[in-house]
């Protein structure tokens, strides 16, 4: 069996099926259509499911949609609405909760800038609570944001910085946004994944070493990710189809080393990242400030 | 007596003399020339000195030099060398210490971007120690960097973020870099202040509320600041000289409100900030990595 | 008589009245209220008016409004609508015209970044006409954008670059956006000026030497400006009122030199520039693409 | 025969040899070692050579060196020196010439930002000649810089903008810097190509349609390029070796469409671009200001 890394539970499940010829054990899966978009919820129930999908047990929600760079404004809003509903289900926190948003990734590398870019569009409010020294602030939820950057620039592992801040400000839930790696080219520009298991080691272009999750932070961590790159190894396999190569495994063994150094991404990745950061930030803002109307949200953000 | 805010101990001492007609009590002061530059060390000894200069007790070192935008490369290096020596005296930590550098300020407002810009040029090494899982790493000191941003964008007070990180990574000393406010126009482009009392509330354009110092962080905090703005109130007084106005106090009372909203800065402030970030980062890198030659430093940074 | 430089025709007219005790000759002036905003149109009719207001003969429209950083989204849209109507009157070109937008200023200096920031939000379409090799393109107008930068970085005077591009692509009208200098603090955050005389020498923080207008470009040039700085000289006078100083003229003579080097700007100038770039770009987009509904505009830009 | 696009004459010549089993006709080739680097000069003599290498007739100089991200400062300087010498040979203009530098590419997409980044480090001097209104200025050459951006943002084809500026300021020679596409992964981080045929259509990630060369601009155009991406098509072939696929041509036909949309680039591309922009700008500065010592250059640039 050949293993190719992807951050998408959906792709891992598909690969399992292709390679094993049957549904992965220990998982539950639901799919629904929502006006041109599809929502797939995979519940990894136990260790068997975890092993089959190479993901920690938990809920993985994937939203599939038309290419984001071809979407008009109305479709983007519909997509943000759908994201907001799914995120709301995972968050399960009330309006009086304190939420910390984390924009992971390197803002200097275009396909890895999704986290920082999205973080920059969040309606941040914690300082309003501080200035007025109160726990309540009308319809607003208490929200703060950090963008930990990359270890090569700061010398500090993202998890260490996040742990320090989490301990200092005590959020009830953390939402971590990251760029992901996918196995198939079609995924780029069309997929959002949410999960309640946080961010797993090695995800995306970033340099994370340890997971950002309830185990390491002590509070609920929702991960929101968008595939923006594929590995060099994957791109080869996509074209190969099944069985063309006699020495397929050997080939991929060589590729694995390459794939650590090379990323594949659309040529218009700057526009793609920009579009996704709009959709993600809208969906997140709607979910974390549930008492605000869209008009009020826009007033605050404009 | 009229009080005008400045972040420079040197200017406060000068104002005290002008207003009171004598040397401020409770301070010691030394001045030396260094090839076209002047170093003034003011030691605020006790509460009397602290009240007279409106500064916490401690050591304040001011480097005065020719306008930074007219300096050539050799003079800049001489200035960095002088800064490195003065910083070394205040730091008093060995090569095996762990140092955390903090770039304060808002990178989106040109005169407030000095901290983040300087931080971006520091030789960061902590991750090398982590990756190799060792306490020693040849000639390198263990250095990390954060740029906490501004509360309006993150919802998190700089001090909270710094506290969280400090507790998490346990540095032996902290160096905080910030843009300052001065009282006199001439100060902009010609002055660097170092002190062992950290960053005091209300300094610079930033939005700091509480001090960043040994009391709040639990470790030694060196503050390095450069005046990049003056308050609108100050600029009026500079032109007025002494006693021209009958209603001077009333005038300044009005101005004080204005000065919170307005900043005065050179038209070429982007070049000034750029030049200072080169000088500061060089001086700091030399002081924190004392075992590296300048050539080795450049190799690491290039 | 003391002269203080401002780029606003409205302020020059006011100064003339204050200093001369009567209305300036050779001008026509109209004022109307528009739901919390005021539109003043000053028509400089002849050389007498031009001398009195230190502005070339032409039409100067000033929109005064509440502070832009306190505005909600609805008020911003109302302001953009008003700007679009006024701009439409000055442009007087049909949908089939070719329009070149110029974002003047230095994107590295916050208060001077208005031109480049606004230019970045314009609905650019010229390449769609090129790709399809047609003169007509549905409801879209043929629009291109340049941001010439500053001479210190490019070695090229803005006017030279604009002339070269204008000759090459042959627009029917040019719209030049620039940051301006005002005399009074209140102007910053509350004023937009439009005129059909282009950009006059020495305006704003920039380094323009010659005017950008019909004489130098050979086509109609609309100037759109927002005061984002005041000169150091102006700030002193604002506080002085009339006649306080015995040696007022001497004082201002000294200040004039200073004012070339110093700029005064609000501390939150980054948010102010951001808000104005949204209002300006919306108003301009509505005026240059008159056949698009606001919803269609948003679809194109999202 | 299968054709895979590369911007490197060196790779095209190698492919010709592999596919045809002999040296390409109509070319001259020289190779020399320079302390760890290799310089290959390919002279495309006539139409046969042009057809064989798919390049216009002219001189193509390739510098091959160790990976730029592993180089120390001394090696970088040696590389810049070598580049300066090769560029000097192609430029063949005296110190009194006027030179226009063009930084092609999109500064928002990391691997395409090489041109703008390098342009930002050039010693620009034309405005000094303008201000003093003189043709001579000590040891300095008359140098200006533009970064035309991408058509999607400006609506203006790079060539149109460059033509307009060239006609307006009349340079004696143009140097155009661009990111290139290579066929082999090893090329990224190790290769610089210079040529006297300018920039050919379709090079790099950019959106150029027509060549930037003596035919279109009327003056000598030197192209300087660095491969920063490979096409998705190329990466597959690299792994395939020779003859593995039965349906190889069909496969590549499909890939060609993909490769227009996908780019492959190193994960640390931001550091790679940064390092190359330092080397390129140093080499160019040394070549265009031949009368300045390296120390004087640094004085001007610091």
Of A145, A164, A169, the CB nearest to B168: A164
Mean pLDDT across the stretch B155-165?
94
User: B104-126 as b/e, with b when 16 or more CB fall inside 10 Å?
Assistant: bbbbbbbbbbbbbbbbbbbbbbb
Pick the more confident residue, C171 or A128: C171
Of C72, C298, C299, the CB nearest to A302: C72
User: A214-247 as b/e, with b when 16 or more CB fall inside 10 Å?
Assistant: beebebbbbbbbbbbbbbbbbbbbbbbeeeebee
How would residue D150 be classed by pLDDT, with cut points 50, 70 and 90? confident
User: Residues of C with CB below 8 A from B267's CB?
Assistant: 109, 205, 260-263
Pick the more confident residue, A235 or B29: B29
pLDDT of residue B231: 64
Cβ of B235 and C262 within 8 Å?
Answer: yes
- Give A130→chain B minimum CA distance, Å: 9
User: Residues of C with CB below 8 A from D164's CB?
Assistant: 161, 163-169
Cβ of A164 and B160 within 8 Å?
Answer: no
For chain C, first and last CA: distance in Å? 52
Q: Check the CA dihedral B162-B12-B205-C117 and report its sign.
A: negative
- Give A3→chain B minimum CA distance, Å: 26
Q: Is C249 on the interface with B (CB under 8 A)?
A: no
Q: Which of B260-269, C174-183, D3-12 has the lowest mean pLDDT?
A: B260-269
Q: Is residue A2 part of a domain?
A: no
CA–CA distance, B159 with B216 (Å, rounded to integer): 8
Using the 8-state DSSP alphabet, how is residue B202 labeled?
T
Residue B231 contacts residue B179 (beta carbons within 8 Å): no
- Domain residues for D69? 9-291
**ipTM of the modeled complex:** 0.86
- Give A128→chain C minimum CA distance, Å: 16
pLDDT of residue C151: 85
Beta-ladder partners of A263: A231, D265
How would residue B234 be classed by pLDDT, with cut points 50, 70 and 90? low
Mean pLDDT across the stretch B260-287?
89
Is residue B199 scored above 70 in pLDDT? yes
Mean pLDDT across the stretch C231-246?
47
Beta-ladder partners of C42: C29, C60
Percent of chain D residues topping a pLDDT of 70: 84
How would residue C95 be classed by pLDDT, with cut points 50, 70 and 90? confident
Chain C neighbours among B 8-67 (CB < 8 Å)? none
> Which of C232, C238, C244, C257 to mutate against chain B (most B CBs within 10 Å)?
C232
CA–CA distance, D265 with D298 (Å, rounded to integer): 32
- Give A138→chain C minimum CA distance, Å: 17
Residue A128, Cβ density class (10 Å: 0-12 exposed, 13-18 middle, ≥19 buried): middle
How would residue D236 be classed by pLDDT, with cut points 50, 70 and 90? low
Pick the more confident residue, A221 or D186: A221
CA–CA distance, B145 with C171 (Å, rounded to integer): 50
Measure CA B182 to chain center.
Answer: 12
pLDDT of residue D235: 53
Neighbours of chain B (3+ CB pairs under 8 A): A, C, D
pLDDT of residue B205: 43
Cβ neighbors of D240 (< 8 A, separation 6 or more) are: D248
User: B227-251 as b/e, with b when 16 or more CB fall inside 10 Å?
Assistant: bbbbbbbbbbbbbbeeeebeeeeeb
How would residue A194 be classed by pLDDT, with cut points 50, 70 and 90? very high
Q: Is A183 on the interface with C (CB under 8 A)?
A: no
Q: Is D155 on the interface with B (CB under 8 A)?
A: no
Is residue D10 scored above 70 in pLDDT? yes
pLDDT tens digits for range C56-84: 999 999 999 999 988 888 899 999 999 99
Q: Is D269 on the interface with A (CB under 8 A)?
A: yes
Pick the more confident residue, D244 or B164: B164
Mean pLDDT across the stretch D206-211?
59
Is residue B3 scored above 50 in pLDDT? no
pLDDT tens digits for range B113-159: 999 999 999 999 998 888 766 766 789 999 999 999 988 899 999 99
CA–CA distance, D258 with A209 (Å, rounded to integer): 33
Cβ of A266 and D266 within 8 Å?
Answer: no
How many CB atoms within 10 Å of residue B301? Answer: 13
Q: Which of A190-204, B149-163, B242-256, B258-272 has the lowest mean pLDDT?
A: B242-256
- Give B75→chain D minimum CA distance, Å: 10
Beta strand D173-182 pairing with D220-231: parallel
Q: Is residue C299 part of a domain?
A: no
Mean of the per-residue pLDDT values for chain D? Answer: 85
Residue C195 contacts residue C148 (beta carbons within 8 Å): no
Cβ of C168 and D161 within 8 Å?
Answer: yes
Q: Is residue C211 part of a domain?
A: yes
| Strand intervals (E) in D65-196 | 98-103, 142-146, 173-182, 191-195
Q: Is A76 on the interface with C (CB under 8 A)?
A: yes
Residue D44 contacts residue D50 (beta carbons within 8 Å): yes
CATH number of the domain within which A150 lies:
3.40.50.1450
Beta strand A173-182 pairing with A220-231: parallel
How would residue C209 be classed by pLDDT, with cut points 50, 70 and 90? low
pLDDT of residue B69: 85
> Minimal Cα distance from D151: which residue of C?
C127
Q: Is D302 on the interface with B (CB under 8 A)?
A: yes
Q: Which of B83-92, C16-25, C199-208, C215-224 has the lowest mean pLDDT?
A: C199-208
Q: How far is CA B117 from CA B102, B190, C176, in A?
A: 11, 18, 31
Neighbours of chain A (3+ CB pairs under 8 A): B, C, D
Q: Is residue D2 part of a domain?
A: no
Q: Which of B7-11, D71-75, D127-131 has the lowest mean pLDDT?
A: D127-131
CA–CA distance, B1 with B261 (Å, rounded to integer): 23
Q: A with D: how many residue pairs have Cβ under 8 Å apart?
A: 73
How would residue A231 be classed by pLDDT, with cut points 50, 70 and 90? low
Q: Which of A113-122, A240-249, C268-277 has the lowest mean pLDDT?
A: A240-249
Is residue A183 scored above 70 in pLDDT? yes
Q: Is D101 on the interface with C (CB under 8 A)?
A: no
Of residues C3, C7, C45, the one with CA closest to residue C224: C7
CA–CA distance, C212 with D190 (Å, rounded to integer): 46
Residue D232 contacts residue D269 (beta carbons within 8 Å): no
- B58: helix, strand or coil: strand
- Alpha-helical (H) ranges within A35-150 are 47-53, 73-91, 114-119, 126-132
Q: Which of B125-129, C118-122, C238-242 has the lowest mean pLDDT?
A: C238-242
CA–CA distance, A9 with A40 (Å, rounded to integer): 10
Question: Which segment, C84-88, C107-111, D136-140, D149-153, is predicted with the most confidence on average?
Answer: C84-88
pLDDT tens digits for range D263-291: 888 888 999 999 999 999 999 999 999 99
How would residue B245 be classed by pLDDT, with cut points 50, 70 and 90? very low
Is residue D202 scored above 70 in pLDDT? no
Cβ neighbors of C62 (< 8 A, separation 6 or more) are: C8, C9, C10, C39, C40, C41, C42, C191, C192, C193, C194
CA–CA distance, A242 with A252 (Å, rounded to integer): 13
CA–CA distance, A240 with A235 (Å, rounded to integer): 9
Is residue A80 scored above 50 in pLDDT? yes
Helix (H) or strand (E) holding A162: helix A158-169
User: Residues of B with CB below 8 A from D275's CB?
Assistant: 302
Mean pLDDT across the stretch B256-282?
80
| Strand intervals (E) in C151-219 | 173-182, 191-195
pLDDT of residue A140: 93
pLDDT tens digits for range C132-167: 667 667 899 999 999 999 888 999 999 999 999 999
pLDDT of residue C235: 53
CA–CA distance, B31 with B13 (Å, rounded to integer): 14
pLDDT of residue D58: 97
Using the 8-state DSSP alphabet, how is residue A258 labeled?
H
CA–CA distance, D188 with B121 (Å, rounded to integer): 26
CA–CA distance, A259 with B272 (Å, rounded to integer): 43
Q: Is D123 on the interface with C (CB under 8 A)?
A: no
Beta-ladder partners of B27: B44
pLDDT of residue A239: 47
How many CB atoms within 10 Å of residue D250? Answer: 10
pTM given for the model: 0.86
Cβ of C163 and D161 within 8 Å?
Answer: no
Neighbours of chain D (3+ CB pairs under 8 A): A, B, C
pLDDT tens digits for range C177-202: 999 989 888 898 999 999 999 998 65
Question: Which segment, C68-77, C208-217, C253-262, D112-121, is predicted with the most confidence on average?
Answer: D112-121
Q: Which residue has the tokens 């009958």?
A: B246
User: Residues of D with CB below 8 A from B79's CB?
Assistant: none
Q: Is residue B299 part of a domain?
A: no
How many CB atoms within 10 Å of residue A32? Answer: 9
Mean pLDDT across the stretch B47-68?
95
Phi, psi angles (nearest 5°) of residue C38: -125, 135
How would residue C238 be classed by pLDDT, with cut points 50, 70 and 90? low
pLDDT of residue A2: 37
Q: How far is CA D299 from CA B69, B70, B274, B298, D291, in A?
A: 12, 11, 14, 17, 14
Residue D264 contacts residue D229 (beta carbons within 8 Å): yes
Cβ of D76 and B302 within 8 Å?
Answer: yes
pLDDT of residue C246: 33
How would residue B241 be classed by pLDDT, with cut points 50, 70 and 90? very low
pLDDT of residue A121: 96
CA dihedral B271, B275, B277, B281 (to 10 degrees): 160
How would residue B230 be classed by pLDDT, with cut points 50, 70 and 90? confident
Q: Is residue A299 part of a domain?
A: no
Of D73, D74, D302, the CB nearest to B73: D302
The number of distinct structural domains making up chain A is 1
pLDDT of residue A210: 81
Cβ of B262 and C266 within 8 Å?
Answer: yes
Residue C157, Cβ density class (10 Å: 0-12 exposed, 13-18 middle, ≥19 buried): buried
Is residue B193 scored above 70 in pLDDT? yes
Pick the more confident residue, A268 or A172: A172
Q: Is residue C2 part of a domain?
A: no
Q: Is residue D16 part of a domain?
A: yes
Residue D121 contacts residue D278 (beta carbons within 8 Å): yes
How many CB atoms within 10 Å of residue B38? Answer: 12
Cβ of A73 and C302 within 8 Å?
Answer: yes
Is residue D122 scored above 50 in pLDDT? yes
Of D278, D298, D302, the CB nearest to B302: D278
Q: B with D: how many residue pairs have Cβ under 8 Å apart?
A: 20
How would residue C208 be classed by pLDDT, with cut points 50, 70 and 90? very low
Percent of chain B residues topping a pLDDT of 90: 64
Is residue C131 scored above 90 in pLDDT? no
Q: Is B279 on the interface with D (CB under 8 A)?
A: no
């Amino acid at each position: 069996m050949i293993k190719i890394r992807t951050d998408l539970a959906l792709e891992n499940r598909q690969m399992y099926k292709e390679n094993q010829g049957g549904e992965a054990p220990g998982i539950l899966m639901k799919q629904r259509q929502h006006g041109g978009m599809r929502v797939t919820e995979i519940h990894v129930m136990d260790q068997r499911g975890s092993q089959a999908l190479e993901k920690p047990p938990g809920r993985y929600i994937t939203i599939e949609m038309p290419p984001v760079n071809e979407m008009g404004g109305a479709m983007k809003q519909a997509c943000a609405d759908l994201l907001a509903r799914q995120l709301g289900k995972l968050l399960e926190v009330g309006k009086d909760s304190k939420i910390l948003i984390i924009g992971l990734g390197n803002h200097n590398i275009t396909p890895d800038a999704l986290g920082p870019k999205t973080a920059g569009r969040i309606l941040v409010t914690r300082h309003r609570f501080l200035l007025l020294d109160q726990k309540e602030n009308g319809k607003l939820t208490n929200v703060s944001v950090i963008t930990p950057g990359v270890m090569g620039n700061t010398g500090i592992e993202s998890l260490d910085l996040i742990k320090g801040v989490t301990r200092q400000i005590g959020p009830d839930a953390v939402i971590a946004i990251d760029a992901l790696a996918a196995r198939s080219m079609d995924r780029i520009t069309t997929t959002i994944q949410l999960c309640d298991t946080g961010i797993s080691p090695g995800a995306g272009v970033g340099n994370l070493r340890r997971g950002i999750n309830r185990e390491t932070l002590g509070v609920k961590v929702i991960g929101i990710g968008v595939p923006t790159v594929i590995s060099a190894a994957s791109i080869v396999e996509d074209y190969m189809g099944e069985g063309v190569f006699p020495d397929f495994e050997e080939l991929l063994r060589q590729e694995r080393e390459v794939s650590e150094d090379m990323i594949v991404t659309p040529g218009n990745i700057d526009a793609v990242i920009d579009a996704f950061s709009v959709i993600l930030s809208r969906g997140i803002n709607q979910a974390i400030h549930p008492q605000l109307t869209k008009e009020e949200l826009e007033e605050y953000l404009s």
